[in-house]
Structure 1
Amino acid sequence: DLSLLRKQTLSFFVFMFGILVMTLLCTQLLLRRRLRKSVVSPLRSLGTAMRQVNTETRNFKVPALKADEEIANLGRAFQELLERLNTSYRDLDDAHQALARSERRLSRAILASSDGIWEWSFDTGQAYFSPRWYEMLGYADQELPMSFQTWKDLCHPEDFLQVYPQIQDVVNSNGAKSYNSEFRMHTKYGDWRWILGRGDVIERDAAGKPLLLSGTHTDVTERRLAEERLRQSEEKFSQLFRLSPDAIVLLVVGSGRLVDVNESFTNISGYSREEALGRTLMDLSIYRNSGEREEIYRRLEHDGFLRDFEFEALHKDGSTVVSAMTCQTLELDGVPHLLAVLRDITQMKKLREVMIQSEKMRSVGGMAAGIAHEINNPLGIILQASYNLVRRTRPDFPKNNEIAQSIGLDMELMARYMRARKLDLFIADIQEAATRAAGIIRRMLDFSRLAESGRSQCDLGTIIEHSLTLARNDYDLKKFYDFKKMDLRVVVEEGLCKLPCTETEIEQVFLNILRNAAQAMAEVTPPVENPRLEIRAFGVGDRVRIEIEDNGPGMKADISRRIFEPFFTTKPPGQGTGLGLSVSYFIVTKGHGGTMDVESDPGRGTRFIIELPAENQRRE
């Protein structure tokens, strides 16, 4: 029984072991099938999908996985990754397209601007120059090595010393600055071209160290040449503006404010540039006559310009300057301005008047020589006949009495008859008129006889004193104008040199002026209460200036302009020949090479100004 029990027990254990083995085998098969279905197949599908991503990334979807939650989650995560990757690919494509468009636009812009492109790598030291970079210097593409040394060799040595420190400054600025400079580069043809170089550091490492410098070259030679021509033109016109003998004024239209004036403006106005700027011409009281000012504005408003308009300008010291104005409106920075040129024609006007006066004198002189000789003969007969008539009617002449008795004529009765009939006065009038006519003839002959004959070195003070003596003893002045009652002042500069002149002629000039001054002050209504006459003589450069000034009634401008014309007089007929001052003018200007002028205003007196040449200003 024990052996049977052992056999049964062994059989039981064998059976149970077999069942266990079968169970394990079945479990293994089930697990293997389950793993294949839940893990291996999904992973294989996922692997296949991953391999397909390389070619079918866009719009690729991972197939649905029938697997455990972890594997399914892995699939879903991979699908999300693919979707994000697809989105990135699409963004990258858009960026590539935008970059391509930008590159095309940049390329077209560079071609249109004709700029050369350059790059310089700090790591390798290599450089890049675009075809246009070479072309603007006359070289073919890559005809020269692409290196920093090439640029240095072509750059003008003087400019390189200025440009290279600027590049170093940009490199060391950590992106805070950009490089922008103009310099000259040597071309293949041997000339120099002006280049505008611009650039910046476009790459740096993590530490901020520069890696790549890039920029452009622009040929600005024509602009530099134009700027140089403009600079030379501006310098030329600036010099013309400063050195012009004419006054040039630039002012703002509307306000009239002076923007700029040149140095010659001071000569006309007396105001310095600093005094004039910011003020108006009215502030400076330039216009003497308001009517002339209004006429200037009227013409400018109507025509927009003015040419050679003559007007009287007031100097700062109160004197008058005859000016010719030419002006034109123009715009500067959109603001209307007026450019005016003022020319001092005072001396030119005087010279013109001298020439006109000389022509008149020459005409009168030629006419006087002929007329005088024609009139002198009958005038001499008239004078001689009047003198004979007076002599032969005098009762105290024995010859007259003898002849009168022979014919039975009483000389006393005849004398009484002549006085009763005023025949003696008629004869006196004839003699006076003939004498005056003879004086006119003498003055007319003076025009054709003025010369340097009899010229000698004369003391001006002596001439003045002699002229005053003649004036004091002049019959007409003593009889009608009481010359001695006039307040007379004579100031002759000490050490004044002697004048080479004809003394009698200069005395005649002074006497004519003194006579006219005395007559003007006596005949004005009411008469001048305290008549004063002042004579001043002093040296001015290589000339001697004599001023004879009175405090009489003065003259209007239209009279003073004609005062030296032959036969011009303001006196009633029979009281003046109109030759005194014209002869004086001719003596001074033609006979002695001097000048004679007059300044006068109504109610402010008259001043005659005479300048005579002198070889030496002062006595040694």
Structure 2
Amino acid sequence: MKLRLKIHREIAKAFLSVSCICVLILIPWQTRKTTVMNHKLISLMQTFITRDISPLANAIFEERIRSINVRAKNILEIEGVESVYIFDAKYRLLSDISTEPQWIKGDLHFQTAAKHNLDSWTTKNSLWYLQAIPVFDETIGYILIEYSLADMKKNETLSLLLFTGTIVMFTLILMLLTNRLIRKIILRPVDHLIQSMTEIEKGQYGRQISNISEDEIGELAGKFNSMSLEIDTSYNQIENRNKQLKQTKNLLDSIINSMPSILITIDDQGRIKEWNTRAEEAAGISFSSAMGKPLNEVFPMIEKHMDDISSALTDKATRKFTKVETMIKNRLHYLDMIVYPVVTETVEGAVIIIDDRTDIVYMEKMMIQNEKMLSVGGLAAGMAHEINNPLAGILQTANVLKNRLTETTGIQANIKAAEAAGTTMESIRDYMESRNIPHMLDVIIESGRRVAEIVSNMLSFARKSDDTAAPHSLSNLLDKTLELASTDYDLKKKYDFMAIRIRKEYEDNLPEVPCEAGKVKQVILNILRNGAQAMQEGGTEIPCFTLRTQYEKEKKMVCMEIEDNGPGMDEEARKRIFEPFFTTKPVGKGTGLGLSVSYFIITENHGGEMSVESIPGSGAKFIIRLPVKGSRNLHEPGAQQ
């Protein structure tokens, strides 16, 4: 209940109590007043009767009814007398003088008074007075007078109503004045306090109350103002701290979520409490779904290390695990895992950091493989130099033989030698031609030149990548790589690159592209070999390569396409074809590095683009784009290394 209603109720109760007390005091006072008035009336009637008692006694003694009635009428003329009854000593009614005929009522009252020896009594609206009429100490009759109390009671009622009305009016006025005073002194300041508290409740901290009085409510308002200022100060401090905490939390969350590592917080029971975005991506479920679940249920990849994690929690010691092998999406991954126990007064658990070292491990393997390739390249270069020496002798000797056996004129030494042998150069030429020896010599010379060109390409391909970028025609690089690939032959698989049909669709007047020719030829050769082997293993009846070059003006790049008509590849293999160590060949038949290295050469070294399009059963098409302006990663001539 509100204070206002309580005060009003208490005021009403107080004034009602005062009114009731006044009424209770008024009733006895009024009763006493009535009794006094009755005594006065009786005394008054005694005075009137005493004045006429002697004549009345004589009239009763002599039984003069007329004189008795006259005396009775005289008494009736007294103001307030309602009836006069006169009886003889034997209680016979001698006179009945009344404003209304009521002798029966008078007789009844006389009998009642005589029976109970009463001299006065009251009824509802009348005062009855009975007095004996003596003569020489002997009662010869009685006079009964009825005095009307109606006017007196009416006056008493009016007085009572007036008094009561006055009290009620006074009470109401006093209540209104009191209510107004209380409202001014108490309720309004309290309402102001309540309004201010409501505003504080709504967030308007620091609210101040003005016009403070010097009473207790004013003191309360002063305390309220002080409390409001303290609340405002505390709230601002809390807000600032919350803001700082929020900023710190956001910063920590950003740092944690930006980490490439998987970060997981678990409790002492191995249930997940927190993790970062990388962990959510690795698990494939939201944090709300993983919250509170066992770690091994969400990350089955570390199931076999749960005992070690539990041991770290129990011993409160850090545990490290390196190169943990696990299969993720059908691919072998290598993980490094560190378990850091967390022990505070209220929290026990651990922070687990998991790093995917797969690319690093693959890179290490790639470096080892590259070292092997460099060794093989160095061996190939040495072999090429060794081949060049006898090859030069073969070519030189073949040319000398051709000159000595086929030149009939112009060389005197040939003519002299023929004459010394008893023949002529013409006869020798005829013999040679009949045996097709000049053609054989031409074949030896052409084959020697081809071998020399192959050795030159091998030397260029095997040489370490210290080449500088220079403008090259991609069409020429394709042709040179085709010559190098034409020597590829596998006797066991009955695989011969020369048996593959080559279609060329080169655009004319292509701009030259700044590139490292050796590396680009390495990429082209790798694509050609993979395609040739795929067509041979897929049983393609008429294997064919289609080579295209064109200039893309929008991208300012020269595009070359290498398309085969082999078995192609599915979508999963197409998406992963450039991943390190991914291969569709049987174990031991391929390293899975060729295309990943090729992709690195095109995209990183030359700033180009490399992609593949394939549909199973419809062959594969590799698309390579190189910028006309070259890449910043290229070693340009004259640039500092």
Work out whether the TM-score is over 0.5. no
* Bigger CA radius of gyration: 2
TM-score (norm 2): 0.37
TM-score (norm 1): 0.38
